[in-house]
Structure 1
Amino acid sequence: MKARFHLPGIATHFKFNLIFATVLEQYPQYFRDFEIASFYGAFPQSIWNGGRTQEGLCDKKFVKMVLKAFNDRGIPVRFTFTNPALEKKHLSDKFCNMVMSLANNGLNEAIVVSPILEEYIRKTYPDFKLTSSTCKRLDDGERLAQELEKDYSIVVVDYDLNNKFDILEKLPHKEKCEFLVNSNCRPACPNRKQHYYNVGVQQINYANHMRKYPDQPYDPIIFGDGANQNCPFFTRNLFEIRDLSTNIKPADIWDKYLPMGFNQFKIEGRTAWLFNLIETYIYYLAKPEYADIARYTLIDFCHENDVLSVNE
């Protein structure tokens, strides 16, 4: 069984992820036995987006370019449409529906948490495979098992269950389970679900503001939705999270999870600093004995393609 990794940043890390896919194709000997299952994220001003606030602006031309670049490689784009604060009025959003229409080719996917959005996508875009989001906080084995019986292609395991093998070994449909390997959130955080909701509210406010005033900066404090900015765990790097009980070590993926029947893994990092993301990819995806040359090659490709000089 081969590990399948879902990697972050269809827009924020678009150029870098294309470079990574190229390096993986040209130097497969540097990397562990895995495949890119999807690149996930959302395009700027997607009001359905959740989990992390997606800033910026883009047009239809950029959306089409990104979809073509990844889909031509056979790699799905998976949209993080996990905003728990959505209302029915948001379902008709022109930008999100434009994105879904362009991506409606049977290859691409969406992650969902809102029942009303899930129902809308199932009815309007039935060819999309749907993933049940970790934002649902299914943090006990019984509720997770029930979710796995539903009509989802993938169910993201709440990361508080990572490494709890007594629970994991009893789960049905292990092939549908996806694990977030590198969460920077503190284990058993009591504020996590509220934080997801806060992000959803901020995404709605941000999208509405940028459509009306694209030349004016958005200030979350003015809108009163900057509650997550004071979270001390939000920007922790790879080295600060390795000892968390929710962290999954690279060796454990191949030595424990794959033999148990789990093969879906997700790397967090849509809003990560580029060099932290590079180090994370190398840590999880490169063979230890080739880590240095893989890192150098990846950075060299980034330099040649002028990725290091821009704010990714």
Structure 2
Amino acid sequence: MVYYHLPGLFEFYELYRAFLPLYRSHREYFYDWCEIGSIYGAPQECLWGGGRVGFGDASPREVAALMDEYGISARLTFSNSLLEEKHLSDKKCNKLLDLFERDGAVKNGIIIHSDLLLNYIKERNPAYYFVSSTTKVLTDFNQFVDELNRDDFKFVVPDFRLNKEFDKLDSLTEAQKNKVEFLCNECCWYDCFDRKRCYENVSRKNLDEDCEDHICVAPESMRCYRFSDAMKNPGFIGIEDIQKIYAKKGFSHFKIEGRSLGSAIILEFLLYYMTRPEYQLKVREEIYLDSSLDIF
């Protein structure tokens, strides 16, 4: 079984409110070899947020209730890399911790960068599991293995440039493979040397620091995100790759990025990665006609 970790817990609440009932009532529309492992994100103006500046304006209580209703793990993206002791007392983030903490069959998780925050949450809200964030930019395979060997983490998301290092990935133990969560559809320039600084800029903005925007120097950066471009990325993991290569090698967890995109493109991800081709148009029609989802 393959598990997808989907973007936009708060950002695309309306989309998931339309999609999840369809996913449950018409499971035959979707591949039987995959499931939703989690949905991740952070609300807007979230001090501990990282990776992307929070766009989500959905009610946290409504989001938590939706995830509970469908038995889906919610992951809070608390991957800010620049947190200090003074930031741990943030009331909004602590309320989110209390609201989303679950100690049942389906636990909720935290995507995390800072060890300071990790230790704080472990002591304060012990029911959470932790995911080592891709914002750490783990491009060195030995450092990635060290991260996998940490008991703190249930999953580790490597930098997308390790996605095709099959000779090294094959050397992992079964236990290590079970913790790997590949980022599938990254559109970032494969030769980017500034990725960590880009993430740090997002962390500063979430801390409300007065800083300039990070200027991406990647070729064709002005095109912004396009799924068709992501598919040409050397690190891209497509559906055939998952079925014919990764699953056979013992890997089962795959992360889909897209929190800063529009809901229409997120739907395309759900169609491409999860939906049988003969039902893709039907699912698209159901979502567009039965929800408030608009292209513009």
Secondary structure, in 3 states, of the residue corresponding to 2:110?
A: strand
Q: Compare 171-180 and 284-293 and name the one that shifted more.
A: 284-293
Partner Cα distance (2:222, 2:192) in 1: 10
Quote how far apart the aligned CAs of 1:57 are. Answer: 5.4
Name the Cα RMSD after superposition.
1.9
The aligned residue for residue 276 of structure 1 is: 265
The aligned residue for residue 41 of structure 2 is: 41
Q: Compare 230-239 and 48-57 and name the one that shifted more.
A: 230-239
Verify the 8 A CA contact 1:198 1:228 in the aligned structure 2: no
The aligned residue for residue 171 of structure 2 is: 170
Verify the 8 A CA contact 1:138 1:157 in the aligned structure 2: yes
Secondary structure, in 3 states, of the residue corresponding to 1:85?
A: coil
Secondary structure, in 3 states, of the residue corresponding to 2:234?
A: coil
1:66 aligns with 2:63: yes
Q: Compare 289-298 and 175-184 and name the one that shifted more.
A: 289-298
Q: Deviations over 1:187-211 (max 9, x none)?
A: 13100000000000011117xxxxx
Partner Cα distance (1:56, 1:183) in 2: 21
Quote how far apart the aligned CAs of 1:229 are. Answer: 6.9
The aligned residue for residue 199 of structure 1 is: 202
Q: Deviations over 1:75-103 (max 9, x none)?
A: 11101100112111101100000010111
Verify the 8 A CA contact 2:184 2:256 in the aligned structure 1: yes
Partner Cα distance (1:25, 1:147) in 2: 35
The aligned residue for residue 6 of structure 1 is: 5
| Cα 1:230/1:244, change in 2 over 3 Å | closer
Can you give the 5+ residue segments of structure 2 that lack an aligned partner in the other structure? none
The aligned residue for residue 84 of structure 2 is: 87
Quote how far apart the aligned CAs of 1:56 are. Answer: 6.2
Verify the 8 A CA contact 2:130 2:154 in the aligned structure 1: yes
Secondary structure, in 3 states, of the residue corresponding to 2:62?
A: helix
Quote how far apart the aligned CAs of 1:224 are. Answer: 2.8
| Cα 1:228/1:202, change in 2 over 3 Å | farther
1:157 aligns with 2:158: yes
Verify the 8 A CA contact 1:6 1:37 in the aligned structure 2: yes
The aligned residue for residue 238 of structure 1 is: 227
Tell me the TM-score normalized by structure 2.
Answer: 0.91
Verify the 8 A CA contact 2:15 2:291 in the aligned structure 1: no
Secondary structure, in 3 states, of the residue corresponding to 1:176?
A: coil
Partner Cα distance (2:215, 2:268) in 1: 25
Runs of 4+ in structure 1 off by over 6 angstroms are none
The aligned residue for residue 283 of structure 2 is: 294
The aligned residue for residue 219 of structure 1 is: none
Indicate which of 229, 240, 244 corresponds to 1:251: 240
Q: Compare 234-243 and 290-299 and name the one that shifted more.
A: 290-299
| Cα 1:234/1:101, change in 2 over 3 Å | farther
| Cα 1:256/1:56, change in 2 over 3 Å | closer
The aligned residue for residue 119 of structure 2 is: 119
Quote how far apart the aligned CAs of 1:73 are. Answer: 1.3
1:186 aligns with 2:189: yes
The aligned residue for residue 145 of structure 1 is: 145
Q: Within 5 Å, give how 1:194-233 maps onto structure 2.
A: 194-205=197-208, 223-228=210-215, 232=221
Q: Deviations over 1:221-245 (max 9, x none)?
A: xx33312477617822111211110
Partner Cα distance (1:298, 1:102) in 2: 29
Percent identity for Structure 1 against Structure 2 = 32
Partner Cα distance (2:183, 2:50) in 1: 16
Tell me the TM-score normalized by structure 1.
Answer: 0.87
The aligned residue for residue 266 of structure 1 is: 255
